Amino acid sequence: MSPIPKPGILDISPYVGGRAGVAGVAKVVKLSSNESPVGPSPAALAALDQAKASVALYPEGSALLLREAIAEVYKLDLARIITSGDGSDALLTMLANAYLQPGDEAIFSEHAFLVYKIATLANSATPVIVPEKNTNHALMVDVDAMLAAVTPKTRMLYIANPNNPTGSYLTRDEMAKLHAGLPKNVLLVIDAAYGEYVTAKDYEAGIELVAKFDNVVMTRTFSKLYGLAGLRIGWMYASAAICDAINRIRGPFNTALLQQLAGAAAVRDRDHFWKAVEHNNTWLPWITAEIRKTGLRVDDSVANFVLIHFPQGAKNAANADAFLNKGGVILRGVASYGLPDCLRMTVGTEDENRLAVSLIQQFMAT
C-alpha cells in the first residue's frame, strides 16, 4: 500500500496564482497579482548586491537586522516580530500548523484569501466559511455572522483586512468588536497584506490589538506595496506566547541574508514608500471612476486593486477576460474565490491603467 497523506490534504485545490502570459501575445500587461507598479526601492536592490558576498554562509537565524528595521519603522517590540523567507503565506500556514488539529474549526469569510483554507485542510481541521454582506458598492465581511459561527471547536479565525479580492475593510471599531466577541482561546489572525495602502482614518492594521491581547496575530508582507513579491519576505507581530510557538516550528534559517538586507533597506526607504502610496492614491480612484462610467459595478476598494462585476450574457466576465487578453492585458479571474462574475484588476503604471481601462470601455461598447 502506498503512503497516504493526512486527512484533508487531498481535499485541497492547489493554489493557482494570477496568470503571467497569454498564448500568442508577446508582451502582456500583468494586472493579475497585485504586484507594485512602482517596483522596489533602489536601496533594496543595492542591498541585494551587497548580500552576494555572503551567500556561502548561513544567515543569522532570527533575522535580527530585518526585525530591527521593522521594529524601528513600525514602532514595535522587536522580540515579538517573526519574519519569513517564504512570504506571509508561510506564516499563515505555520500558525495553522501550530494551533489546529483534527476536529478543530477555523473560520473565515466567503471570499477570503485561498491560503486560509489550504492551511486549515493541511492540518486536518475543518474550514467554516461565513457568507459576506453585499451592499451595492462592496462585498463586506459580516462581523456578526462570523461571531455566530463560533463553536466550542473553533480555534482560529482568519481575516484579511483589507480583504483580497473584495478590496473592502473593517474599521478599527468593527475589528475590535470581532475580537471582543471571540473566546480568549481562539486565535484571531489579521492578514494586513494591503495595510500599507489604506489611508482611511478609521483603519487600524492590527498593531493596537496585538499590543493589548494575547490571542491576536497580525501578518504583513513585502510583496505588495514594497514591490518585492519575487523575494518572498513576510513578517508577523504577535504576543510573546504565540511567537514562542512559531519560533519552535519555523525553519531555523527561514529568512536568507539576501532577504534580510533587502527587506531592511526597503522598509527604511520612506520616500519610496510614500511614492508607492501616492501612485495608488492617484490611480485607484481614476480606475474606479472610469470603469464605472461604462455602467459596470466596481466595488469601493482601499487596497491596490479593484473588483469589477460583469453581467450575465454577452458582456460576462469570461468574455471580458478573453477580450482583454487579446489586447495584451491580464486581469485575475476570481471564480476560485466564489466570484465567477468578477475580475480583479491591480493598479498598474499610468500606461497600463489607461490601456486596461480603454479595453474595458471598448468591450462594453462593442
Do residues 112 and 165 lie in contact, with contact meaning Cβ atoms separated by under 8 Å?
Answer: no
Considering only the stretches 73-81, 95-103, 220-228, 342-350, report the one whose residues sit in contact with ligand PLP under the rule CB under 6 A.
Answer: 220-228
Which residues, 14 to 43, sit near ligand PLP by CB under 6 A?
A: 34
Residues 6+ apart with CB under 8 A from 223: 35, 87, 88, 193, 229, 232, 233, 234
Pick between residue 99 and residue 197 the one whose CB is nearest to ligand PLP: 197
User: CA-to-CA distance for 295 and 291, rounded, in angstroms?
Assistant: 7
Q: Mask 158-187, x = binds ligand PLP (CB under 6 A)?
A: --x---x-----------------------
Residue recorded with cell 502610496: 277
Do residues 297 and 287 lie in contact, with contact meaning Cβ atoms separated by under 8 Å?
Answer: no
Pick between residue 119 and residue 359 the one whose CB is nearest to ligand PLP: 119
Pick between residue 115 and residue 355 the one whose CB is nearest to ligand PLP: 115
The three cell numbers of residue 285 are: 480612484
Residue 191 in contact with ligand PLP, rule: CB under 6 A:
yes
For the bound state, the minimum distance from the C-beta of residue 311 to ligand PLP, rounded and expressed in Å, comes to 26
159: enclosing H helix or E strand: strand 154-160
For the bound state, the minimum distance from the C-beta of residue 334 to ligand PLP, rounded and expressed in Å, comes to 12
Closest residue to ligand PLP in the complex (CB):
87
Quote helix, strand, coil % in the chain, to nearest 5.
Answer: 45, 20, 40
Q: Which of 126, 154, 221, 288 binds ligand PLP (CB under 6 A)?
A: 221
The three cell numbers of residue 222 are: 513585502
Pick between residue 256 and residue 355 the one whose CB is nearest to ligand PLP: 256
Q: Which of 32, 41, 123, 223 binds ligand PLP (CB under 6 A)?
A: 223
For the bound state, the minimum distance from the C-beta of residue 139 to ligand PLP, rounded and expressed in Å, comes to 14
User: CA-to-CA distance for 151 and 167, rounded, in angstroms?
Assistant: 28
Which residues, 300 to 359, sit near ligand PLP by CB under 6 A?
A: none
- Helix or strand or coil: residue 93? helix
Which residues, 250 to 309, sit near ligand PLP by CB under 6 A?
A: none
Nearest 5°: the CA angle 106, 109, 115 is 65
For the bound state, the minimum distance from the C-beta of residue 68 to ligand PLP, rounded and expressed in Å, comes to 20
For the bound state, the minimum distance from the C-beta of residue 149 to ligand PLP, rounded and expressed in Å, comes to 20
Q: How far is CA 28 from CA 19, 24, 230, 268, in A?
A: 10, 10, 18, 32
For the bound state, the minimum distance from the C-beta of residue 24 to ligand PLP, rounded and expressed in Å, comes to 29
Pick between residue 192 and residue 296 the one whose CB is nearest to ligand PLP: 192
For the bound state, the minimum distance from the C-beta of residue 263 to ligand PLP, rounded and expressed in Å, comes to 11
Which residues, 116 to 155, sit near ligand PLP by CB under 6 A?
A: none
Helical residues (DSSP H) of 75-167, grouped into ranges: 87-99, 114-122, 143-148
Query: Distance between terminal CA atoms of the chain?
Result: 58
Sign of CA dihedral 257, 263, 266, 267: negative
Which residues, 227 to 246, sit near ligand PLP by CB under 6 A?
A: 229, 234
Q: How far is CA 91 from CA 227, 257, 262, in A?
A: 19, 18, 19
Which residues, 66 to 95, sit near ligand PLP by CB under 6 A?
A: 87-89
Number of residues this chain uses to bind ligand PLP (CB under 6 A): 14
Do residues 202 and 166 lie in contact, with contact meaning Cβ atoms separated by under 8 Å?
Answer: no
For the bound state, the minimum distance from the C-beta of residue 59 to ligand PLP, rounded and expressed in Å, comes to 19
For the bound state, the minimum distance from the C-beta of residue 304 to ligand PLP, rounded and expressed in Å, comes to 10
Binding residues for ligand PLP, rule: CB under 6 A, are 34, 87-89, 113, 160, 164, 191, 193, 221, 223-224, 229, 234
